[in-house]
Structure formats: structure tokens, C-alpha cells
Amino acid sequence: MTTKRGLFVVLEGMDRAGKSSQCRRLVDHLNSIGHRTELMRFPERDSAIGSLIGQYLGRKIELDDHAVHLLFSANRWEFRPHILDTLASGVNIVCDRYAYSGIAFTAAKADGPDFHWCCQPEVGLPAPDLKIFLSVSPEAQASRGGFGAERYEVADFQRRVGEAYARLMRLEDQAGGSCPAWLTINADGAFDEVQQQLAKAVVAAIDCPRSAGPPAGLR
């Protein structure tokens, strides 16, 4: 019997949506019910490229907006073999941020790189089987405490990131297919309720048939 390849799930969303905590809990849950699953995140700061990104986010170094955009993308490309091997071995991946963060955060910069330019370095990366957007209202965002100290953790910039995500999702939904490209889950409610919705959607996707080969490349 051949192993069914793992499911590649990506979670995106605004700051304070609870993405990282939800991803961790989801991975624990999936493993506990027998679905072997690995947690990944981008930026993955634990590499030479990731360390530069960490220094940039922590305001230790300055970089041109194009250059740092390419570093974020290169960080994904360096883990492409790992993603493909993991999926081929039948293990699912839950990924905390991916190419969509890359595009939305750079495209949100005032006088920054052009939106279409931002999309290009991502072309060819493994495409997720399921993309989930955790949405959070400005009120819930505010009630969850202040932003951190990293670059980008600024309310006005976050609003622009939200607009860039919306543009991205609109474009992908227009691009076709009979079902929406994105599943949006509202994360304003209680953590456990959001987790239940997430787990239900992901388990259903794991159980769906999928092609035996590697995932297609992002277009």
C-alpha cells in the first residue's frame, strides 16, 4: 500500500488573532487522534537567513524593502525540500504563516514594492491544500492587549496589512475553481470554540482524497 501524502495546511491572519497558539494546539490535537502532523512557521528564524530576518524584525539591522522581501521568500525556499519530504512521508504540515504573509506585509508598505512584484518570488513554492484565514475585529484585537515591540507591530500598519490580505484573497477567489480558495474563521470568540472549528475543517480535509504526487507549485 502506498502512503497517502500529508495534507499541507497554512494559517494566516492578523496579529492577535491567536494564530500561533491555535496552530500549536491544532498540531497536538491532530497527533493525539492519530494524524501525524508537524508544526512549521515562517519566518523560521532558526537558519542563517531566518536569523537575518529576526535581526531586521527586532530593528537590529536595516534592509531595503525589496531585499528583506526576498529574504522572507528565500526562507521558504530553503525549507521547500523539507516540506516536500515531510508530505511525501505521509505527515501533515500545519504552517503558521506562509507566502501570503510575505505578500501582504510587503505590499502594505507605504511607497514599497509593487503588489505584483511581491508575488513573483513565491511562484513555484509548494501550494497549500488548505488555506485558513483567522479574522479578528479591531475591537477584539484591541482587547487582547498591546502590540509587541517588533517592526510591523503598529496599529496603522496592521490595518494596511489587512487590506493587502483582502486584496490577495479576492484575486485568488476570482482566479477560479468552484470552491472558495480560502476558508475564513472568525477568531473573535473563545479560544476553544475557534479551535473546534479549525480542527473540524482540517480533519475533514485530511480525510479527503488528494493526488499522490507532491503539491502543485504556487502560481
Q: How far is the CB of 107 from ligand FDM (least distance, A)?
A: 10
By C-beta, is 77 or 152 nearer to ligand FDM?
A: 152
Q: Which residues bind ligand FDM (CB under 6 A)?
A: 42-43, 57, 72, 97, 101-102, 105, 152
By C-beta, is 105 or 206 nearer to ligand FDM?
A: 105
Q: How far is the CB of 38 from ligand FDM (least distance, A)?
A: 17
By C-beta, is 19 or 35 nearer to ligand FDM?
A: 19
Q: How far is the CB of 97 from ligand FDM (least distance, A)?
A: 4
The edge-to-edge listing of strands for the beta sheet with 92-96 is: 37-41, 92-96, 8-13, 130-135, 182-186
Q: How far is the CB of 213 from ligand FDM (least distance, A)?
A: 26
By C-beta, is 79 or 105 nearer to ligand FDM?
A: 105
Closest to 5 measured CA to CA, from 84, 76, 77, 81: 84
Q: How far is the CB of 178 from ligand FDM (least distance, A)?
A: 29
Q: Angle at the Cα of 126 (from 124 to 131), degrees rounded to 5? A: 120
Closest to 39 measured CA to CA, from 25, 54, 57: 25
How far are the Cα atoms of 29, 48, 199, 208 from residue 24, in angstroms, in the given order?
A: 9, 24, 12, 23
By C-beta, is 90 or 113 nearer to ligand FDM?
A: 113
Can you read off the three cell numbers belonging to residue 74?
Answer: 528565500
Can you read off the three cell numbers belonging to residue 33?
Answer: 487522534
